[in-house]
Chain A
Amino acid sequence: MAESVVAPIASHSATQLPIVGKSEVRPTWCPGCGDYSVVASIEMALKRLKIPSKDVVIVSGIGCSSNLPHFLSSYGFHGLHGRTIPVAEGVRWGNHGLTVIGTGGDGDGFGIGVGHLIHAMRRNVKLTYVTMDNQVYGLTTGQASPTSRMGQKTKSTPTGVIENPLDPVSLALASGATYVARGFSGDVKHLTDLVANGIQHKGFAFVDVFSPCVTYNKVNTFDFFRQRVYKLENAGHDPSDLGAAFQRSLEWGDKIPIGLFYSVDKPTYEDLEQVLAAGPLAYQPSGLKGREKLLDEFV
């Protein structure tokens, strides 16, 4: 029981603030689950960037993947199914000095929560959003997800999925995300680069990760992706070319691209929200003391 654990914490000094590492909670995922690589890549990216753990907030929704914040030593908010994005946006606007990372599943982000995702991308909120896309609902024991392929047999579609899958990368491009990437849990080093660059990106950074569910998705497995993925950076793709990014995003079959599809520099929502120019909201003065003149407009 965590309750009996009264672990002393390391002393802090301004210069030597602790960096994000593993928490004392061990991941509860099935052995072999793709999500282990994702948490490892986030940990390594944050270590590489040396962001103090006190300044990192990892926000998630509900799903196997959404348990991720518990496994790292940063701050975290483990919210409702589908509401990862609005909580993360609220945290950013409440204190834009923080590094905010959203994490969750394909159901959380592209099913129940897809409305929020589109709007967050068009706003260009400075967030890094990492989805563990296993093309299935893991936590609810294997139903179809918005990214399950046509024909895929799941518990809710025993004779096969009869709707077209949503493509997260083209959705992100169309919605105005300013950093759009796709990683694979089978290549943690590459994924770490994508996440680290995403965290450094000024704006909405979207990293969709092929993160196989070894228990409920017997089609889109590690092997499936190992045989198919190729890296955009080795294929002469120009990530400043939106049209090319769209074309690459539509590729699915024998060859499936991973890497950085698109990146562009644009003002963030926080840049354009003038109230935030005075510093993080959480530290700004508040109240109406001494502002009685404000009542004149009601005369």
Chain B
Amino acid sequence: MKELAVRVGGQAGDGIASIGESIARSFSRMGLHVFGLNAYQSVIRGGHVWYHARASEGKVHCQGDTADILYALDRQTVDVHASILRPGGTVIFDPEKFPLAPTDVSSEIHLLPVPTLEIARKYTSQSILQNAAGIGATAFLAGIPIDVIHQVLTDSFGRKAGDVVTWNIGASTDGYRFAETKGPIHPKAIAKKDPPKLLMTGNQAIALGAAAAGCKFLVQYPMTPATSIMHWLAAHSRALGIVVKQSEDELASINMAIGASYAGVRTMTASSGGGFALMTEGLGMAGMAEVPVVVVDAARAGPSTGLPTKTEQGDLNLLLGAGQGEWPRAILAPSDPVEAYNLTVAAFDLAERFQTPVLVLTDFHLAEAMEGVDREEINFNIPIPSLFTVEPDSHRYRRYLDTESGVSPRAFPGQPGLNHIALSDEHDEYGGDVSDIRAGIPAAIAVRKKMMEKRMRKLKGLAKEVPPPVLEGPPDAPLTFVAWGSPVGAVRDAMAILQEKGKATNLLRFPTLYPLDPDVVRSMFARTRKTLLVEGNFSGQFAHLLRAETGIEFPHKFLKYDGEPFYPHQIVARAQEVL
């Protein structure tokens, strides 16, 4: 399978992300499968940032281990990244910015000096235009047709002043032509193959999934890496008829979401671990008052403020234990954008059918990395049943009617004859408070027990309805990877590498982290031989959960908590130790 990867690096504020995205988007428009990773720090200017765009004929699941072209806007980029270049790779740089000699890099690496600043000066005194020249040179080397890169640049500047587009087209053409005079395109470059693919981040997929599932109210307080969910929905708010509210804090987010849901609207809120932690009391109230709400935690590396722009799967225990007392919840964990879309749709459906919070756990890597998606993979045809199903009859409405499933008929303000109180205190079937004058008297003790059992019974139904574990690869492979969330991508790529080395492996992955059906999980592990649990946290939180739920132990683990995503070669190396 032919593949080519481009890495661009420089200082924050240099426009690295937009250079990288232009290259990634061009590949995607050529019909290649792309993975684009934007690595940055929690500062707006200064600091080292880089973008990695990996393109392939077939599906790639993560950023990969290597690069073929490195466009370095500063010397530090060469120092930090030249080592990942494959033999035959090229460093693109502007000697006016910093000197670079062939002896500064390994003998198998080519240097392509491009006068990007000089080209920029032809058009404007704004040095930012050097990027367009660099993009042009990079595009040539990467085998991107000039019309493709021109269109991407034109689209990205959109309706801005005509000069900006003209200059960018001019400078990118000059860079392209300059590179053309210096040598052939990179031997690994892939020819255009139609049709264009979509390129989306996990966050965009979640926003889209929410809209498709009928979400009408998103409330959120900015926190990396969840913020771009709000950005996407805010940009489409009017067109889609979705109210997007930036709240004063995450306490407000969850409580506003609950209020709107109580009023009859499908709602979502999203944050990272810090904001999620603030929501926990509200989540418990949603469990108690039986109000559906979808909550996304896009985890960063914790604890505390942690590493805001780095990835980790350290929030699982937080989600499992969120809120005082016990209440039913489901935790879904997508591993790529398509699954993020599908599981967001599922989250709305489950939250509504079970009238309880459904939590979607992602991480920085899934939230912000871009991945190629085929149009056909995104289905907008989601059935959205009416919420108004309860009719008044001659009896007093029981909002919390005790049923076999634990789910009671749900009515909304505005409906006549169904007036009731929804509440955070323990209550009887009518919504009558049993926490004050009735607490502790025998009848109220019985009510408490009954209502607790009613709510917790939902977990049984949820366990049957949530997406089950998935086995990928040959069923009887000698090694089974066990993974959830974004590391699944790197595991899939590692499996392909191991396959090439003649080592068959498979993957048992968990789109649902909770609740698990222990019988189903045990039956899936019945056929596995050796296992290697791959998880992005210090203590193996999911391994603990699996052991608690099923008794299964994981003697071999690959735990990562350095803030960086998993790389396939790291997983391959660990697998070879275990095999």
| Residues in A lying within 8 Å of B, measured CB to CB | 1-3, 5-9, 12, 17-18, 25, 28, 52-57, 59, 62, 67, 69-70, 73-80, 82-83, 85-95, 97-98, 115-116, 119, 273-276, 278, 280-292, 294-295, 298-299
Assess A9 versus B433: contact at CB under 8 Å? Given A75-B419, A275-B242, A289-B382. Answer: no
* Contact, CB under 8 Å: B255 / A80: yes
Query: What are 10 A-B contacts defined by CB distance under 8 Å?
Result: A5-B396, A67-B436, A77-B259, A80-B255, A86-B255, A87-B259, A275-B243, A285-B241, A290-B380, A298-B373
Residue B414 interfacial (CB < 8 Å)? yes
Minimum distance in angstroms from A70 CB to a CB of chain B: 6
State which of B217, B285, B417 has its C-beta within 8 Å of the C-beta of A79: B285
Assess A54 versus B414: contact at CB under 8 Å? Given A87-B258, A278-B241, A286-B216. Answer: yes
* Contact, CB under 8 Å: A75 / B248: no
Q: How far is the CA of A281 from the CA of B214 in the complex (A)?
A: 11
* Contact, CB under 8 Å: B263 / A98: yes
Chain A residue with Cβ nearest B437 = A28
Q: How far is the CA of A294 from the CA of B436 in the complex (A)?
A: 52
Main secondary structure of the interface of A (DSSP, over half): mixed
Residue B172 interfacial (CB < 8 Å)? no
* Contact, CB under 8 Å: A83 / B243: no
State which of A2, A12, A69, A92 has its C-beta within 8 Å of the C-beta of B428: A2
Question: Which of B198, B387, B414 has most A Cβ within 10 Å?
Answer: B414
Chain A residue with Cβ nearest B204 = A298
* Contact, CB under 8 Å: B436 / A28: yes
A62 contacts across to B, CB distance below 8 A: 424
Q: How far is the CA of A298 from the CA of B152 in the complex (A)?
A: 12
Assess A6 versus B396: contact at CB under 8 Å? Given A91-B263, A275-B238, A298-B373. Answer: yes
A273 contacts across to B, CB distance below 8 A: 243
Residue B365 interfacial (CB < 8 Å)? no
* Contact, CB under 8 Å: A276 / B243: yes
Minimum distance in angstroms from B28 CB to a CB of chain A: 7
Assess A291 versus B255: contact at CB under 8 Å? Given A298-B199, A299-B29. Answer: no
A69 contacts across to B, CB distance below 8 A: 421
* Contact, CB under 8 Å: B416 / A282: no
Minimum distance in angstroms from B283 CB to a CB of chain A: 11
Q: How far is the CA of A83 from the CA of B428 in the complex (A)?
A: 22
Assess A94 versus B265: contact at CB under 8 Å? Given A8-B394, A53-B419, A80-B282. Answer: yes
Q: How far is the CA of A79 from the CA of B416 in the complex (A)?
A: 22
Q: How far is the CA of A87 from the CA of B422 in the complex (A)?
A: 12
Q: Mark B105-140, 1 if CB is under 8 A from A, else 0.
A: 000000000000000000000000000000000000
Chain B contact residue count (CB 8 A cutoff): 85
* Contact, CB under 8 Å: A95 / B396: no
Within 161-211 of B, Cβ neighbours of A (below 8 Å) are at 196-200, 204, 208, 211
B260 contacts across to A, CB distance below 8 A: 90-91, 93-94, 281
Chain A residue with Cβ nearest B242 = A275
Q: How far is the CA of A80 from the CA of B289 in the complex (A)?
A: 11
Chain B residue with Cβ nearest A62 = B424
Minimum distance in angstroms from A31 CB to a CB of chain B: 14
* Contact, CB under 8 Å: B241 / A78: no
Minimum distance in angstroms from B403 CB to a CB of chain A: 15
Assess A78 versus B413: contact at CB under 8 Å? Given A2-B428, A67-B433, A292-B380. Answer: no
Chain A residue with Cβ nearest B195 = A299
Question: Which of A70, A75, A87, A273 has most B Cβ within 10 Å?
Answer: A87
* Contact, CB under 8 Å: A90 / B384: no
B208 contacts across to A, CB distance below 8 A: 288, 294
B257 contacts across to A, CB distance below 8 A: 90
Minimum distance in angstroms from A276 CB to a CB of chain B: 7
State which of A54, A281, A291 has its C-beta within 8 Å of the C-beta of B413: A54
Within 426-445 of B, Cβ neighbours of A (below 8 Å) are at 428-430, 432-433, 436-437, 443-444
* Contact, CB under 8 Å: A119 / B252: yes
* Contact, CB under 8 Å: B380 / A76: no
Question: Which of A62, A90, A295 has most B Cβ within 10 Å?
Answer: A90
Minimum distance in angstroms from A22 CB to a CB of chain B: 13
Minimum distance in angstroms from A176 CB to a CB of chain B: 14
Question: Which of A6, A83, A289, A294 has most B Cβ within 10 Å?
Answer: A83
Assess A93 versus B241: contact at CB under 8 Å? Given A17-B416, A291-B380. Answer: no
Residue B266 interfacial (CB < 8 Å)? yes
A93 contacts across to B, CB distance below 8 A: 217, 243, 245, 256, 259-260, 263, 265
B394 contacts across to A, CB distance below 8 A: 8-9
* Contact, CB under 8 Å: A83 / B251: yes
State which of B216, B387, B417 has its C-beta within 8 Å of the C-beta of A54: B417
Question: Which of B197, B262, B289, B415 has most A Cβ within 10 Å?
Answer: B262
Q: Mark B396-412, 1 if CB is under 8 A from A, else 0.
A: 11000000000000001
Q: How far is the CA of A5 from the CA of B119 in the complex (A)?
A: 84
* Contact, CB under 8 Å: A1 / B428: yes
Chain A residue with Cβ nearest B28 = A299
Chain A residue with Cβ nearest B291 = A77
* Contact, CB under 8 Å: B422 / A12: no
Minimum distance in angstroms from A152 CB to a CB of chain B: 26
B248 contacts across to A, CB distance below 8 A: 115-116, 119
State which of A82, A280, A295 has its C-beta within 8 Å of the C-beta of B378: A295
A55 contacts across to B, CB distance below 8 A: 413-414
* Contact, CB under 8 Å: A80 / B196: no
B252 contacts across to A, CB distance below 8 A: 83, 85-86, 89, 115-116, 119
A292 contacts across to B, CB distance below 8 A: 375, 380
